[in-house]
Amino acid sequence: MKLLVVGIENLIGKKIIPQLLQHKHDLWIVLEDSADQAIYQQMGLHVIVADIRQNGQWIDTIPQELEAIVNLTIPTLNKRLNLKTIENDIAPEMLRIGQNLCHIASARKSERIIQLTNIFYYSQRGTTELSERSPRDFAPDNYGLTYSSLTSYLFNQKDIQTTVCVAGHYIYDSDGVTIPQIPRIINNFVICGTGENEIQLTHIDDLVGGLIHIIENNIREQVVNIVDNKPMLQKDFLKLLSHVYKTGSPLPFPVPLASFIFGDAYPKSISQSIVLKNGMLKESGYWFRFPDYTAGFATHLMR
C-alpha cells in the first residue's frame, strides 16, 4: 500500500516504520528535521522535510492516489500543562495538522486517515467500561481537549473516512519505558491522588500491531480501542515500575499539590478512572501479544 506516515519521530514511529517496510508498503514520511533524512532514505523511504503544521509547496511532492494517511503525532507537552496552554497552543496545533492532512487526502485521492489518540479522547469519568460506540463528552478541564478539535474536524469531512485509534493511559514497552513519561521526584514515581483509580495500558508492540492490522485489513470503524484486557490501579502500576527501575516506593501526591507542580489539567486526568473495551480489534481477528501487564512485564516480574 502507498502510505503517508507523519509524526514518526517518537518511539511509536520508530517501532512501526520497520514493520511497515517488512510488510512491503510504499512509505512516504514527513520529517521536521533533516538530520535523520539520509538514514530513512537508506531504509527505502520517501522523505519530505517540512513542518506538517504549515501549508507549503512540500505538499505538491506527495504522490497521487495515496491509499491511507497515518498520523502518529503526539502533542507537544514539554511545557507546564494547563488549560490555557491546551486551548491556546496544543489544541490549535493539532487542528492545523488535521486540516493539512485532510487537504492532502483530498488532493491525493486518499479516502482514509488513521489517527492515533489516547484514552482521554472519551473524557468520561468513572469505572464504567466504555466501548468504541460510547458517546464522547469533552469536558473543559481535561486532556481530552488536546484531541477534541482535531477529531471533530476529521469526522466532519464527508469524503474522508477517519479511524481514531485510542491507546491507553500509558504506552509501555517491556523495559518499563512509558509514553507519556510518568511524573517523578528524584528517584521516586509520583501517585497523583489516592492511586485507587483504574488505568489501562497498551504495550507498544500491540499498539504497532493493532495499527498495522487496521491499515491492512481496511478496518473503517470510526473508533478502535487499542488497549489491554486488564485495567489496574494506578498505585499498583507505579509499584510495578518501581520494581522494574529499582527505585524507592511511589510517593503519594494530593491532586492540588500535583496540579501546582505539574499543571492543572494533567493530574486531574490521571487521578480518575477510565476503562475501555477492545472489542473492535478482537472481532476483526487481532490477538493481543500482551493482553495484560503480567505478560508485558513477565521478565521483570520473575526477578
For the chain, the structural domain boundaries read 2-169+201-230+278-291
- φ/ψ region of 238 (left if φ > 0, alpha if ψ in -120 to 50, else beta) reads alpha
Q: Which residue has the higher pLDDT, 254 or 238?
A: 238
pLDDT of residue 263: 63
Instruction: Report how far residue 189's alpha carbon sits from residue 242's, in angstroms, rounded to the nearest whole number.
Output: 7
**CATH architecture classification, 2-169+201-230+278-291:** 3-Layer(aba) Sandwich (3.40)
Question: Per-residue pLDDT for 120 more than 80?
Answer: no
pLDDT of residue 300: 62
Ranges assigned E (strand) in the chain: 2-6, 26-31, 46-49, 68-71, 112-117, 129-130, 161-167, 170-172, 178-179, 184-185, 188-192, 198-199, 201-203, 223-226, 232-233, 251-253, 275-276
pLDDT of residue 77: 54
When pLDDT is cut at 50, 70 and 90, the band that residue 24 belongs to is very high
Instruction: Report how far residue 144's alpha carbon sits from residue 136's, in angstroms, rounded to the nearest whole number.
Output: 10
The residue-averaged pLDDT of 263-278 equals 70
Question: Per-residue pLDDT for 126 more than 90?
Answer: no
pLDDT of residue 21: 96
When pLDDT is cut at 50, 70 and 90, the band that residue 210 belongs to is very high
Q: What is the mean pLDDT of the chain?
A: 83
Instruction: Report how far residue 151's alpha carbon sits from residue 71's, in angstroms, rounded to the nearest whole number.
Output: 12
Helix (H/G/I), strand (E/B), else coil: 121: helix
Question: Per-residue pLDDT for 209 more than 70?
Answer: yes
- Per residue in 131-168, pLDDT tens? 887 766 555 445 666 777 888 899 999 899 999 999 98
The residue-averaged pLDDT of 172-176 equals 81
The residue-averaged pLDDT of 256-285 equals 75
The whole-model pTM stands at: 0.90
The residue-averaged pLDDT of 282-294 equals 90
Helix (H/G/I), strand (E/B), else coil: 191: strand
- Per residue in 33-82, pLDDT tens? 888 899 999 999 999 999 888 877 888 888 888 899 999 987 765 455 66
The residue-averaged pLDDT of 175-198 equals 78
Instruction: Report how far residue 139's alpha carbon sits from residue 118's, in angstroms, rounded to the nearest whole number.
Output: 15
pLDDT of residue 240: 85
